[in-house]
C-alpha cells in the first residue's frame, strides 16, 4: 500500500470509528469514503453494530451492499446522525470544493441533513485558498444560458466529458456536469450563492456554509 492510499485508509477508518450503534449515516462518494465503508462493514460483522446508510451515488449504494451495510433513504430518515464524505480541496476554515465524482448535489443534500459532517482527506487536499475548478450540475435544457452567466461571474465553464464513453458525463440525477475555473476563490460563500442563484443550476461543489458542524480528518501514513 503506497503512502497516499495508506493515508486515505487511516482517515476513513478513523471516521468510521466515530459511528455509534443505532446511527443513521450519510455515505459519501470516493476512494477515501470507501475505506470508511470498509471499516463500517467490519464493525457490523465483528461488533454487531446496527446502522443504516444513506448513499450519495449509485456507486456508493453498490459498494455498501458489498460491505453489508443496510441502506435507507432521506424520506424515511430526514435527519442523519453523521455524514462521512471526502473533498478535493479544504482550507483551514473548513471551506471546501467537492464534486470530482460528480455526486456533489446529493452529497450536499446529505451533508445538510446530517447533525455532523465528517470530511476525510489526505494531506494533499489541504490548501490555503480554494482554486480548483468548481464542479456544477446543470439541467441539460439550460446549459447554454447557464454557461453565459457563469462567464459573467468570471468563470470558464467546460463540459465534463466521459472516459471510455463519448459525450458528456451524466450525473446520477440525469444532468450535465461542468467544471468552471474561477482562479483563486477569495469569497467561497459568496461565489457558492452566486452560482446557485443562476436558473438551471442544480448545485455546485463549493461547500462553504457548513463549517460549524464540520470535522476534518486528515489521514496519516506510517
86 marked as part of a ligand binding site: yes
SS (H, E, C) the chain: CCHHHHHHHHHHHHHHCCCCCCCEEEECCCHHHHHHHHHHHHHHHHHCCCCEEEECCHHHHHHHHHHCCCECCCCCCCCEEEEEECCCEECCCCCEECCCCCCHHHHHHHHHHEEEEEEEECHHHECCCCCCCEEEEECHHHHHHHHHHHHHCCCEEEECECCCCCCECECCCCCEEEEEECCCCCCHHHHHHHHHCCCCEEEECEECCCHHHEEEEECCCC
Query: CB count, 10 Å around CB of 31?
Result: 15
List 30's β-bridge partners, or say none. none
User: Known catalytic residue: 156?
Assistant: no
Query: What percentage of residues in the chain have a pLDDT greater than 90?
Result: 96
Q: What is the pLDDT of residues 25-63, one digit of tens each?
A: 999 999 999 999 999 999 999 999 999 999 999 999 999
Please tell me the pTM assigned to this model: 0.95
Q: What is the pLDDT of residues 100-124, one digit of tens each?
A: 999 999 999 999 999 999 999 999 9
Place of cell 458489498: 66
**Structural domains of the chain, with CATH:** 3-123+210-218 (3.40.50.1360), 134-205 (3.30.70.260)
87 marked as part of a ligand binding site: yes
Q: Which of 38, 107, 137, 203 is catalytic?
A: 107
106 marked as part of a ligand binding site: no
60 marked as part of a ligand binding site: no
Amino acid at each position: 500500500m503506497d503512502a497516499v492510499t495508506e493515508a486515505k485508509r487511516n482517515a476513513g477508518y478513523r471516521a468510521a470509528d466515530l459511528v455509534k450503534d443505532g446511527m443513521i449515516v450519510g455515505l459519501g462518494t470516493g476512494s477515501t469514503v470507501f475505506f470508511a465503508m470498509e471499516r463500517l462493514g467490519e464493525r457490523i460483522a465483528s461488533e454487531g453494530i446496527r446502522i443504516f446508510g444513506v448513499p450519495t451515488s449509485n456507486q456508493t449504494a453498490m459498494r455498501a451492499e458489498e460491505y453489508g451495510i443496510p441502506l435507507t433513504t432521506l424520506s424515511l430518515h430526514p435527519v442523519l446522525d453523521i455524514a462521512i464524505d471526502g473533498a478535493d480541496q479544504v482550507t483551514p476554515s473548513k471551506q471546501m470544493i467537492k464534486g470530482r465524482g460528480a455526486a456533489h448535489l446529493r452529497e450536499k443534500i446529505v451533508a445538510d441533513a446530517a447533525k455532523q459532517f465528517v470530511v476525510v482527506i489526505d494531506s494533499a487536499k489541504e490548501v490555503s485558498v480554494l482554486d480548483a475548478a468548481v464542479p456544477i450540475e446543470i439541467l441539460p435544457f439550460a446549459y447554454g444560458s447557464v454557461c453565459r452567466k457563469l462567464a459573467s461571474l468570471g468563470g470558464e465553464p467546460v463540459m465534463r466529458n466521459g472516459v471510455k464513453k463519448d459525450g458528456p458525463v451524466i450525473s446520477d440525477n440525469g444532468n450535465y456536469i461542468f467544471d468552471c475555473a474561477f482562479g483563486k476563490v477569495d469569497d467561497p460563500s459568496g461565489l457558492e450563492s452566486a452560482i446557485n442563484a443562476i436558473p438551471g443550476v442544480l448545485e455546485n461543489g463549493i461547500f462553504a456554509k457548513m463549517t460549524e458542524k464540520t470535522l476534518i480528518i486528515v489521514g496519516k501514513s506510517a
